[in-house]
Each structure stands twice: as C-alpha cells, then as structure tokens.
C-alpha cells in the first residue's frame, strides 16, 4: 500500500535491485558472522554452573511433558463430546446427553475396558488433576451462567401455585430418596458415613431438576412460550434454588457435627444476606451507567474476579464453591444487556472447552464395572424407578391439586424428571465428600442419564402436536449454553 | 404473567389460601416423614463397604483441596495484574508492562522475599503445575490470536524495503546476541549446553519484536495510520514470522543432534506445506459459506480442536506447541469477519484469565535474587545495551539505506526494540529446554521489560507531535488483545 522507499526522504533512494543485492549480502555476512563467532565459542570450556536448589527447581520440568499430554486429552475429550453431542441432537435428544455419554465412554467403563493401553496413553495419571481443575473451573463458570439466566425472568412474581408444585416436586423424591436410603445404607454407604448424611444426600440427589437442560428441551419442542413451558421453567427455577439450599445444608451436616452444621448454615445465611443486601446494590450502582454500553474488558475482568472470590467464600464457609458462583450470577442486574453480554463472552469457552472436561472427569469417576452383580443392577433400576416416581408423582399430584388438567400435569411431571448436568454436579460433590460410594455414584449417573433421555420421547407421546426433532438447529445461543 | 390455577382445567381450582395451607401441611409432613425414616435408619448398622482399590482411588481426593487453592491464586493473580495494568495505562505505558511487573512481583523476587509465608499460602506448591498449564494454554490461544491478527493486512504485498528493514533489524541483534554468548557462555550457560545452541538461542532471543504490543503502542500514540506506523507494523509482522522460524530451528538443534535437527526442520517444512497447501484450501471451503454469518458454537468448537491438535503436531515434530497454534491462526481466512469473530470469542478469556496466569507463571520462575553480585548487574545492563543497540542500530541503518529520513528511521528503530510478551514466551521456552540458566532468564526478563518500557517515552521525545497519554482508553478491543 505504502511505497516505502524515498517518500519521506529527500535523498535519492536505491532501487529494488540494489536493495535485493545488499539484502543478500547482509544475509551472507550474517551467516559468516555467526560461524566465526561459533568457531571462537566452541573453544570455550563449558563451566558447569553451580546450580542453587531454587535454580534446579525451576529449571527442570516434568511440566514440559505435561502440556502435550493435556493437549491430546483435550483434543480427544472435545472431539468425542462434539461428535456424540451431534449424534444425540440428530436423534432429537438434547446435546448434553451425548456429551455425558462421551465422558462415560472415555472413562474406565468403556475406553478403559476395551483399550486400557490407549486409555493410559490419552489420559495418563498426571493429566487427571489438570482435567479435574479445568472441570471444576468449568462448573463454577457454568453455575455463574445459570445464576445469570435464572434471575432474569422467572423467579419474580410467581404465583403461589408454582411454588407449591415446585416444592411438592422436591418433597416427593426427597422423601422417597431418604426412604431408599433405608435399604441402600447397609450395602452402598461408604464406611463411616452417618445415616442422616446418607439419607439427606440421597434425598437431595433425587430432587434435582436440570433447569438449563429443561429450558433447552422446551425450546427444541417449541413449548417454551406455552403455558406448560412457562410453568415448567418457573418450577424448575424454584426447584434449583431450593435443591441447592438443601444441598448446602447437607454438605454442612456431612462435613461437621450438628454445631458445625448450624454454624455453616448461619454463615451461609449471612453470606446470602450480604450478597443481596450489600453486594447487589453496590453492583447495581457500579454497573448501572453501563446498562446499554458494550462491556469493557475491565468490567468483565472484575466480575470474573468477583465470581472466583465468591466461590472461594462459599468454599471457606463450608458449602461448595459453585454456590458462590451461582449466587453472584443471581445478584447481577438483569435489566439492560449486561447479563446477556457476560453470557455471550463466557458461554463458548465454557460449553466447548470446560464442560466436556467436566463430563470426561465425571466419566473417569464413573465405573459401571462396579455394578458387578444382578443385585446391583436391580438396585440401579430401583433408583431410577424411585427417582421417576417421586418426581413425576409429586409434580402430578401438586399440579392436579392446583387445578391443572391431567395432560398438563403429566407433562409437567415428565419435564421435572429431567436431571441432566445438574445431577452430575451434585453427585460429584457427594463423591468428593465421601457420602456415597463409587458404586452408588455409577448408579446415580445412570439414573441421571436415563431420566434425562426419557423426557423428550415421553413428552412427544403425551403431546403429539410437538414439532419433529429440532436436531438441526445450530444457533449459537441455544446450542451453547443450554445444551 | 400466567395465572396458573384453573386455566386449562374445567375443575374449580382452589384459592391461594387453600394452596398455602396444604403447602405448609406438606412441608410439615415432609419434615416428620424424614425424621421417621431417620429414626429407622439410625438403628441400621453401618457395614463398612469392602472398598476395591479403584474405589479408594476415586473416592479420596487431594483434588478437593486443590480447587480453593487454585481459585485463591487466580483471584490474586488477576486482581494484581488488573491493578498494575491500570496503573501503567495511566502512566502512558502499555498495560502489558503492568501485568508483567505484577507477575514478577508475585514471584520469589518480591512477594516471596518480603512475605514468604503469605506467598506459600497464596501459591502452594500444588498450585504451580495447574497455573503452568493454564499459562501454557493461554499462550497457545494467544499465539493463535496473534496468527489471526497477523495475516489480515500486513504480510501481503509488502515492498522489498520492508522485508530488508525487518531482516536487518533481526540480523543486527542476532549477531550481537551471538557475540554476547562468547562472554556469557562460561558463566551463564547451564552445564551440558553446547555453545552453538546457546549462541543461537541468545541471538534469537535478542531479535524478538512484540507485534501485539507494538500495535497497541502505535494505536495509543495515534500513529497506526501514519507511514511510520504502517512500515513498523509490516516490519514487526515479518520480524515475528522470521524470528519464530529461527526459534523453531534453534529448538530443533538444541533438542537433537544435527541429524535430528535437520529431520525436525524437514518435518516442520512438510507441516508448513501441508498447512498452507492442504489445510488452508480445506478450511477456506469449509468456512466460505459462513463468511458473513455469526459463527456457530459448532464451528468454533472444531476450530478450537484444530488449534489444539495443530499445537500437538508441532510439539511432536520437535518445535514448540505455540508454532502450531500460530500457524493455524495464520491459515484461517481473513475475508469476511470470521477471524474477527474468533478473536471476539476468545480474547476476553485469554487476556483476563489466562495471560495473567502466564505472567504469574513467568514471575515464579524469575528470580531476580539470583543477580547477587555486581558483575551480574553489570552483565544485565550489557544485555539491555546490546539488545537495544542491535535492534535500534540494525533498523536505523537499514531504514536509512532504503531511503527513509533520520527521524523516521530512528523512530522505527525505537519501535522495533519493543519486546514485551513475545520475548517472555521465547525465554520460557529457553528455560524449559535448559538452554539458558535461571540467572540469565531473570536478566533477559529485565531486558524485555526495560526495552518495552523505554519505547513510549523515547518515541514521544523523538516525535513531539504525539498526543498525550492515551491511558484512559478502555476499549475492549484495544485493551484486551493488544495490551
């Protein structure tokens, strides 16, 4: 574009040929120069440096071998998740199903069984903590996004009925889950776990509804603007909040004695109060002038710091890091397009890179091989049955009671039975706490898969007017965050 | 919005009071139900499960302690980087300077010296490999973004003169760096490194120009549309490509014998050919229909997989993972807004979360305390002098020769002396390879800092017409990627 030579200089500039000649001479001279220096240098003795321990520590690295291993693992994890997600989408299932199956398939249940050597190559033991951290970072950011999404429309000004349906849809599976603990405790509880913790956890784990997956299914079936869709989203939102509060309590009870648990609950209450009473108005004031402007990197950076700091706070309080992230998402103001802007900035990296790592991480912990006997499979079926009965039954009864017709009530019951990704998050927390055994973990993962897979076909049967598989929809928004 | 009860049902629906009553009864019943179950359950014997080794492996976790540590470290790293970046921006310096200083300050040079206990708390040893992987992922994605940026305008149809200036600005510091190796080899080369590797590496490390930081400085000083700016950007682009090629060669030489190095160079050549000959047309055809559409999550995901896979390929070939990422960025088509769209999706996460991790990682490896004697500081000053002389001198002579006036030539020389982030990437590779000692690493980091800091004030002195500090500009684009 700009003719460089001789524009700003009065001097006659050399032509291209001259420049080329000098240029070649320069390169030759440089080559010769280097070899002369090298000749001198090679005669120098290589005096070994007296390395200090610190120097050795930062000089030698198992690090440099870790990077290619992590890269290979990520390439495999993302690719398999995309492929199976695509297949599931074509089959009219939410993409997340395929991604969860991809994670399980890459774990010891399938990949490790048919090709243990290849698995050891793709996922060497050094990679798994890194994958674990990426997974947990992913879940923290994901829960922040869920918090952002949740607040927006659904939690405000809901009718009594929605709250009642929602809580009935929690109470049902919670009690059935706790009752199931009676038979499960002696064979599937890890040593040293009290019955109270075990029963509470099983109850909560049964009561989860996956708000994001539900929203995705409703969009796919074009039900999101219908009465059913609006009630379902409202119930799922309240379900989520309630179940997370319960889980926080359970984590408190499990980690400590009664005194400790009460302390945890009190601190969590204080934190909740501070977040809504102090942080929310401050954030409002800080972000208000930006309501309709593009978010700057600076604001994004500080919100991200706030998300991580809030996660640390809840972790210190004794509930899980994800609560802090979720809470921070919930207190971000939703007028203007600030919330949407954050989602837009984060969702791709979270859904493409970090969530598949979470599914793979969950997959490596899911050992379906532990279900070795018929009694295990029988109990696994019982879990699926109880979870479905509790969720479906509780919702159905409450919906009928509040005056919905049979078909709407039944559809709502089926929808609330969607467990998806949320269930996996809860189960991983349970496994981390040691409140469920790896065997029970595998069973519950299967339960989450089956109940989520069942939702779409059952709903289609009940509502024949639904559009056919919306598998082809490839909108960034719908596919990214909600799938 | 939707009045839930009684809309879709013919039955008379209960009023809010009824619902509330039943709801409270439900909660009470649930509470009683749980305590009844608990009463039964607590009489059950907690039979310890016979845990299989696999069960123990996935049940117990050092993992769960790692997450809060990583979160705390990230909060500190991002916050300090933002604050010092902001301070530097106010001082009219590029933000990256502040972020690099933040990294060094958080390392053993400052934080570890004044508060070793606090440092051990914020950065326990278990966190550092995770930080390292985040840092390296950050650099890989960053180099992909640089590749994307580079191709767009500057590498095509450049005049001979620009190439000549650029290569002169590499030859100068390269030869001086290699000559410097003559004095440095006996005291600062790690044991077992040949002189050839050492001299080659020092030469390359001296020749780096940071294209992204340079672009940022030019924008800040509103020089990016001037003749000087256009030439500088063109030279820096060619500089970058040339220096990376040289570095790939040096890495090949250092890692293997001559035969191995030739093999590496040949493989790298083949890979380059495949990328431009095969991959580029394929990508073109795949992405062409999307030219002006919003990028879907699916396309983004597969491009990300391609970036990581390309990074693995170059790592396997024997050059560094970043080359693959850079190369993939360079072959992505730049017409339409595809490249811009990728940048938009990735740059925030990279610049907010991952690059500060890289600076902190570099900081933990930079032990300024190793420069314990006067002779070390003297040599460090010599490095800064030689690096500046080589870069400034080489550029000045070549610019004058191609016909630019003194002032433009001198300005160009000053600009090309900007080393910034790129230099740190190269230095980390050198430290990983063991071709430079931690002491020399610290000296070179200081050199990168000083040369980058010097650019803006010197340029202002030379070009008094420049606008005052553009510190306040907080545009997402300029600040994010280029800073």
Pick from A153, A164, A372 the residue to mutate for testing the B interface (most B CBs within 10 Å).
Answer: A164
Which position has the higher pLDDT, A268 or B154?
A268
List helix spans (H) across B91-126.
95-105, 111-114, 116-122
Residue A45 pLDDT grade (very low, low, confident, very high; cuts 50, 70, 90):
low
How far CA A263 is from CA of A30, A317, A447, in Å, comes to 72, 9, 33
pLDDT digits (tens, 9 = 90+) for A394-411: 889 888 888 888 888 999
Is the ipTM value over 0.95, yes or no? no
Give the lowest-confidence range in A374-378, B243-247, B292-296.
B292-296
Nearest CA-CA partner of A402 in A168, A175, A172: A168
- Alpha-carbon distance of B34 to B31, in angstroms, equals 5
Residue B50 pLDDT grade (very low, low, confident, very high; cuts 50, 70, 90):
very low
Mean pLDDT, residues A86-103 taken together: 88
- Chain A residues closer than 8 Å to B253 by CB: none
Residue B156 pLDDT grade (very low, low, confident, very high; cuts 50, 70, 90):
low
Interface contact flag, A474 B438, Cβ < 8 Å: no
- Give the end-to-end CA distance of chain A in Å, rounded to a whole number: 47
Which position has the higher pLDDT, B277 or B233?
B277
Which position has the higher pLDDT, B51 or A92?
A92
Residue A212 has pLDDT above 50, yes or no: yes
Residue B160 has pLDDT above 70, yes or no: no
Give residues with Cβ within 8 angstroms of A17, minimum separation 6: none
Residue A476 has pLDDT above 60, yes or no: no
Q: Give residue A348's pLDDT.
A: 85
Residue B13 has pLDDT above 60, yes or no: no
Residue A383 pLDDT grade (very low, low, confident, very high; cuts 50, 70, 90):
very high
Interface contact flag, B82 A474, Cβ < 8 Å: no
Residue A309 has pLDDT above 90, yes or no: yes
Question: Burial level of A340, CB count in 10 A (0-12/13-18/19+)?
Answer: middle
Q: Is A182 on the interface with B (CB under 8 A)?
A: yes
How far CA B476 is from CA of A145, A297, A326, A345, in Å, comes to 21, 5, 26, 12
Interface contact flag, A45 B352, Cβ < 8 Å: no
- Chain B residues closer than 8 Å to A189 by CB: 46, 49
Nearest-Å Rg of the Cα atoms of chain A is 28
Min Cα separation A115/chain B (Å) = 17
Q: Give residue A163's pLDDT.
A: 77
Q: Are A260 and A197 in contact (CB under 8 A)?
A: no
Q: Give residue A221's pLDDT.
A: 79
Residue B74 pLDDT grade (very low, low, confident, very high; cuts 50, 70, 90):
very high
Residue A73 pLDDT grade (very low, low, confident, very high; cuts 50, 70, 90):
very high
Provide the residue count of chain A. Answer: 483
CB crowding B351-382: b at 16 or more within 10 Å, else e: bbbbbbbbbbbbbbbbbbbbbeeeebeebbee
Q: Give residue B460's pLDDT.
A: 86
- Alpha-carbon distance of B160 to B374, in angstroms, equals 45
Q: Are B164 and A15 in contact (CB under 8 A)?
A: no
Q: Give residue A251's pLDDT.
A: 79
- Chain B residues closer than 8 Å to A249 by CB: none
Q: Are B290 and B299 in contact (CB under 8 A)?
A: yes
- What percent of chain A clears pLDDT 90, i.e. is strictly above it? 12
Min Cα separation B455/chain A (Å) = 22
pTM score of the predicted model: 0.81
Residue B466 has pLDDT above 70, yes or no: no
Q: Give residue B153's pLDDT.
A: 55
pLDDT digits (tens, 9 = 90+) for B361-410: 888 888 888 888 888 899 999 999 999 999 898 889 888 888 888 888 99
Mean pLDDT, residues A149-169 taken together: 67
Which position has the higher pLDDT, B335 or B44?
B44
Q: Give residue A7's pLDDT.
A: 41
Residue A83 has pLDDT above 90, yes or no: yes
Residue A172 has pLDDT above 50, yes or no: yes
Residue B162 has pLDDT above 90, yes or no: no
Mean pLDDT, residues A285-309 taken together: 80
Q: Give residue B129's pLDDT.
A: 86
Give me the domains of chain A, ranges plus CATH numbers.
Answer: 65-464 (1.20.1530.20)
Min Cα separation B457/chain A (Å) = 23
Min Cα separation A394/chain B (Å) = 11
Q: Is B33 on the interface with A (CB under 8 A)?
A: yes
Interface contact flag, B52 A370, Cβ < 8 Å: yes
């Amino acid at each position: 574009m700009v003719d460089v030579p001789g524009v700003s200089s009065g001097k006659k500039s050399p032509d291209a040929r001259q420049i080329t000649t000098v240029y070649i001479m320069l390169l030759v001279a440089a080559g010769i120069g280097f070899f002369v220096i090298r000749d001198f240098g090679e005669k120098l003795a290589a005096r070994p440096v007296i390395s200090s321990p610190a120097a050795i520590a930062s000089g030698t690295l198992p690090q440099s071998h870790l990077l290619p291993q992590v890269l290979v693992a990520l390439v495999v994890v993302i690719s398999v998740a995309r492929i199976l997600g695509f297949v599931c989408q074509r089959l009219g299932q939410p993409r997340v199903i395929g991604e969860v199956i991809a994670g399980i398939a890459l774990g010891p249940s399938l990949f490790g069984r048919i090709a243990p050597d290849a698995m050891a190559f793709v996922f060497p033991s050094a990679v798994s903590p890194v994958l674990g951290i990426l997974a947990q970072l992913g879940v923290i950011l994901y829960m922040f996004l869920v918090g952002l999404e949740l607040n927006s429309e659904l939690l405000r000004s809901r009718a009594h009925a929605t709250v009642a349906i929602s809580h009935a849809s929690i109470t049902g599976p919670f009690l059935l889950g706790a009752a199931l603990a009676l038979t499960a405790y002696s064979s599937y509880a890890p040593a040293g776990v009290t019955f109270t913790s075990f029963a509470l956890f099983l109850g909560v784990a049964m009561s989860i509804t996956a708000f994001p997956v539900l929203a995705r299914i409703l969009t796919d079936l074009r039900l999101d603007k219908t009465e059913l869709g609006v009630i379902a989203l409202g119930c799922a939102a309240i379900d989520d909040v309630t179940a997370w509060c319960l889980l926080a309590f359970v984590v408190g009870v499990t980690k400590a004695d009664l005194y400790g648990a009460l302390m945890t609950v009190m601190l969590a209450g204080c934190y909740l109060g501070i977040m809504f009473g102090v942080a929310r108005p401050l954030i409002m004031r800080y972000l208000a002038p930006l309501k309709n402007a593009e978010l700057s990197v600076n604001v994004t950076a500080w919100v991200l710091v706030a998300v991580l700091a809030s996660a640390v706070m809840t972790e210190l309080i004794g509930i899980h890091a994800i609560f802090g992230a979720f809470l921070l998402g919930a207190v971000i103001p939703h007028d203007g397009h600030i919330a949407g802007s954050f989602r837009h900035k984060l969702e791709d990296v979270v859904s493409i890179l970090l969530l598949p790592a979470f599914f793979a991480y969950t997959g490596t912990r899911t050992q379906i091989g532990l279900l070795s006997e018929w009694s295990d499979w029988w109990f696994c079926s019982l879990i699926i049955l109880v979870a479905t009965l509790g969720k479906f039954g509780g919702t159905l009864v409450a919906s009928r009671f509040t005056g919905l017709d049979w078909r709407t009530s039944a559809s709502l019951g089926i929808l609330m039975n969607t467990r998806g990704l949320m269930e996996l998050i809860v189960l991983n927390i349970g496994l981390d706490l040691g409140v469920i055994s790896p065997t029970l973990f595998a069973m519950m993962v299967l339960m989450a898969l089956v109940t989520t897979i069942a939702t779409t076909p059952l709903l289609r049967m009940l509502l024949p007017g639904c559009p056919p598989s919306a598998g082809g929809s490839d909108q960034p928004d719908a596919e990214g965050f909600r799938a």
